[in-house]
Amino acid sequence: MELQMVNVTRKFGEFCAVDDLNLTITNGVYGLLGVNGAGKTTFMRMICTLLPPTSGQILCDGKDIFQMDGEYRNLLGYLPQEFGFYPDFTVKDYLMYIASLKGIRPMVAGKRVKELLEQVGLTKAANKKMKKLSGGMKRRTGIAQAMLNNPKILILDEPTAGLDPSERVRFRNLISELSEERIVILSTHIVSDIEYIANEIWLMKEGQIVQQGNLDDMIASMQENVYACEVSQADATKMMKQFKVSNMKSERGMVELRIIADRPPIPEACVIEPTLEDVFLYYFGEKGGETE
């Protein structure tokens, strides 16, 4: 299975949400990382045929996905940021309903729903109403509906938004388990979601992929070092205005800083190992966590 994006651009009026993308995607987990407003959702919606490109082509094994129509959608599983459901449906009823919309025969659907409920850890919640589910359980139900047709291409848009840390870990493990022999594209602005499970990471900024590669490639692409130092509160306030600070911790009246810079911020600062979070801050700067 191979997806190709060839000179793909998507505009909304004068605004260019995705700008001349060229990518070749084969089996594995791909992490699409960027701030809100970077173009991630537009990127995902085009791959899901929900939005056509303004120009360029998206190809699946050499065929235009918009011309393939149902043939392509049969290969696709999609979990949007927000998915609709009837609140009084049970989890099992909801999945059977989605299976019918996907054209899966009832006997096949019943067996598949049972398998997926076990895989996502919702067997005991099968008869629970959707409106009674926790956020994590809803997201796991969302993954199950995306997997009903055993897709070769799985698209997950901000799948862990609003989940607590333990649910995020469980979700990442589930994605890793589902990733064999298929393409999984995971869009997020939460760095830890993809740091350990993505075979390849894409950094998206203003509609363009500004850097791509595995974790080691991302770290090697940084032209600055990461430093650790301990300073007073007053000095910390000054340094935060001068440098990119990726982390700070106050303890015993002092402040421990993690700083990205092209030189030591103070003589006592020591170089430390970078993380993907440092890479994110390096490319996206102080506005890395803001909505644009």
pLDDT in tens, 195-250: 888 999 999 999 999 999 999 999 999 999 999 999 999 999 999 999 999 899 99
Token digits for 191? 């760095």
Tokens of 164: 């607590």
CB 1 within 8 A of CB 152: yes
What size, in residues, is the chain?
A: 292
Domain ranges of the chain: 3-220, 225-273
Q: How many CB atoms neighbour CB 98 within 10 A? A: 21
Tokens coding 25? 């995607």
Asked whether the predicted pLDDT for residue 262 surpasses 60, the reply is yes
Is pLDDT above 70 for 172? yes
Residue 276 near residue 188, CB atoms below 8 Å: no
Amino acid residing at 46: M
To which H or E segment does residue 183 belong? strand 183-188
The sign of the CA dihedral 149, 154, 157, 161 is positive
CA distances to 49, 53, 85, 195, 210 from 46, rounded to whole Å, are 5, 7, 23, 25, 19
> Per-residue pLDDT tens for 105-161?
999 999 999 999 998 889 999 999 999 998 888 988 998 999 999 999 999 988 877
Confidence of residue 96 (pLDDT cuts 50, 70, 90): very high
* DSSP alpha helix (H) spans, the chain: 40-47, 65-68, 70-73, 91-101, 106-119, 135-146, 165-178, 192-195, 215-220, 233-242, 276-284
- pTM of the full structure: 0.86
* CATH number of the structural domain 3-220: 3.40.50.300
Sheet holding 244-251, edge to edge: 244-251, 254-261, 225-232, 270-272
Task: Give dist(CA 205, CA 210) in Å, integer.
Answer: 6
Residues 6+ apart with CB under 8 A from 232: 253, 254, 255
Considering only CA atoms, which of 155, 189, 160, 168 is closest in space to residue 292? 189
Opening angle at CA 216, ends 210 and 222, nearest 5: 50
pLDDT exceeds cutoff 90 at 5 = yes
Top-confidence range, 81-85, 88-92, 191-195: 88-92
